[in-house]
Amino acid sequence: MKMTKFKLMLYTMVIILMTNILTVRYQLSDYVESNPNGKDMLNLMELKNVVEDEFYTDIDEEELIVGMKKGLFQGLNDPYSEFYTKEEMNELKEQTTGELIGIGVIVGIKDDNIVVISPIKDSPAMRVGLKAGDIISKVNGKEYKANELSDAVKEIKVPLSEKKSSLLGKVDYGKVKIEVLREGKEREFEIQREEISLQTVEYKQLENKIGYIAISQFADGTAKDFVKELETSKKNDDRALIIDLRNNPGGLLNEVQDVADSIMGEATIVYTQDRNGKKQYIKSRDGGELNIPLVVLINEGSASASEVLSGAVRDNEIGTLVGEKTFGKALVQTVRQLSDGSGFKLTVQQYFTPRGENINHKGIVPDVEVKLDENQLLKNQVDTQLQKAIEIIQTKLNQK
């Protein structure tokens, strides 16, 4: 009798198990039939199982999963979309804090190359002579392609988590060797890594009461600092203003909006458009008009968020753009963190200037083109682009 009960229980368990297996198979079959990519998903699972079962050494399953996630974004062929591990996500957040350990260079992708967007002012990269537009071919002797931008950046910088105490003297974070291509010629730089604290806004009063505000990056707090310096300019009775966006690689769109609020009055700053054609207009608030002559300095190192502000100034005719054509990045990314601390950056929109111009890969051409005479700058400390901006403002002031 006991044996019979045991067999009955065993048969019941087997039937339940077989039913569950059949249910899963039918559900999977339904998914494959209803989803055009269902077979590809099954193939992916099969490939994963084969790799785990047959690869000649032990598999780190966590690394395998990370590789699959990264591969998903690499399949987009978009250098600005990427999956980040928890550690990489923390490093990404560091980029907007205004503090870093490295050589002080902002890099990006242009024409399938890793290029210098701009060296940071007074950084090791600027001191040794790295320039906007330099194509980075090797870092520490290793070649890096456009889709390996994050790996190249990791090799160049040091995570803030590895910051050391400087109580006993200057900390040595080591040197990095950068090989670049400039105007068809190869150049090599050996650059010392340092702790770099970014002061993104700088004000001074020029001759004839012309205010000058340089914005090196749109990081957290940039707009607040800009408004503070703008108030200083007003207290100094500045008769005109020059905003210097040269070598500004961009940053946070909300910071650009707050800066625009303080100089433009009510106007369209930029509008974005997703793949379905849905447009979103970003406008500045009323009450922030400057009502004095304005010149904005730009160059090849002015990218992304700085191009948004430049385009808004030009299209709303509130100032004059002086310098050289900008970088040409008009794509909008969203950054999201997942529950496990990992995350991703995904290009979700493209942006257009208020008049509807898409400047991606094209850049913004200034109203008055002036090349920077580097010999004059080095020998005589004469900034030819800034001099032209002052000349234009003087003409406007004389017309009043």
Catalytic residues: 304, 315, 329
Its sign, for the CA torsion 136, 141, 146, 147, is negative
Q: Which residue carries 């974004």 as its tokens?
A: 73
SS (H, E, C) the chain: CHHHHHHHHHHHHHHHHHHHHHHHHHHHHHHHHHCCCHHHHHHHHHHHHHHHHHCCCCCCHHHHHHHHHHHHHHCCCCCCCEEECHHHHHHHHHCCCCEEEECCEEEEEECCEEEEEEECCCCHHHHHCCCCCCEEEEECCEECCHHHHHHHHHHHCECHHHCCCCCCCCCCCCEEEEEEEECCEEEEEEEECEEEECCCEEEEEEHHHEEEEEECCECCCHHHHHHHHHHHHHHCCCCEEEEECCCCCCECHHHHHHHHHCCCCCEEEEEEECCCCCEEEEEECCCCCCCCCEEEEECCCCCCHHHHHHHHHHHCCCCEEEECCCCCCCEEEEEEECCCCCEEEEEEEEEECCCCCCCCCCCCCCCEECCCCHHHHHHHCCCHHHHHHHHHHHHHHHHC
> Which of 388, 271, 378 shows the shortest CA–CA distance to 324?
388
